């Protein structure tokens, strides 16, 4: 039962982080050469941003590789955000065959539509969202450490809480 809660906690952490940060490309080569400054206004994030990131974690002998692709649109004047996030998780390890049904059950309980591939112990889900941003949401977003490059074509969230640095590219 504790293992089920751990996997649910990982999913919640990923979803909350991604929704709050709305991040993408973690390729440090593409981020090189930029001069970064803190985002101080929602208007700096206005537009559509796209990218992806991935990370790997091991817990109780089971490794999970998570890959997320996102598209986010922020309308600063309307104070809204909308987008799509597709996450794929591939599980492996010595005990995966015994744990797979419990992992599946945990994710089925989230209410998010999840597709499972039993042959390779993976799952994928796509979440579409549209939210109104209140002043507290905006203040939280700006205080999270998001930075923008000198020409406004990339934003990044510094690494933290087990997540990699995330760089998004304006479309």
Q: For the segment 114-167, what is each residue's pLDDT rounded down to a tens digit?
A: 999 999 999 999 999 999 999 999 999 899 899 999 999 999 988 877 777 889
Instruction: Tell me phi and psi for residue 121, to 5 degrees.
Output: 55, 55
Please tell me the predicted confidence (pLDDT) of residue 32. Answer: 58
**Which residue(s) pair with 116 in the sheet?**
123
Q: What angle do helix axes 96-108 and 2-21 make, rounded to 10 degrees?
A: 60
Instruction: Give me the mean pLDDT over the 19-42 stretch.
Output: 65
pLDDT value of position 21: 43
Task: Name the DSSP class of 146.
Answer: -
For the purposes of burial, counting CB atoms within 10 Å of the CB of 6, is it exposed (0-12), middle (13-18) or buried (19 or more)? middle
Per DSSP, 160 falls in state B
Question: For the segment 78-122, what is each residue's pLDDT rounded down to a tens digit?
Answer: 999 999 999 999 999 998 999 999 999 988 887 788 999 999 999
**Which has the closest alpha carbon to 148: 137, 156, 139?**
156
């Amino acid at each position: 039962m504790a293992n089920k809660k751990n996997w649910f906690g990982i999913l919640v952490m990923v979803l909350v982080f991604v929704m709050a940060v709305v991040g993408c490309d973690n390729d440090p080569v593409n981020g090189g050469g930029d001069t970064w400054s803190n985002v101080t206004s929602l208007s700096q994030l206005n537009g559509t941003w796209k990218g992806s990131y991935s990370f790997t974690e091991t817990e109780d002998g089971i490794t999970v590789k998570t890959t997320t692709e996102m598209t986010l649109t922020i309308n600063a004047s309307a104070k809204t955000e909308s987008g799509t996030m597709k996450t794929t998780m591939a599980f492996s390890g010595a005990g995966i065959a015994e744990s797979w049904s419990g992992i599946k059950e945990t994710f089925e309980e989230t209410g998010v539509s999840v597709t499972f591939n039993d042959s390779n112990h993976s799952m994928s889900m796509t979440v579409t969202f549209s939210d109104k941003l209140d002043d507290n949401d905006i203040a939280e977003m700006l205080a999270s450490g998001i930075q923008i490059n000198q020409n406004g074509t990339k934003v990044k969230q510094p690494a933290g809480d087990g997540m990699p640095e995330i760089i998004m590219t304006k479309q």
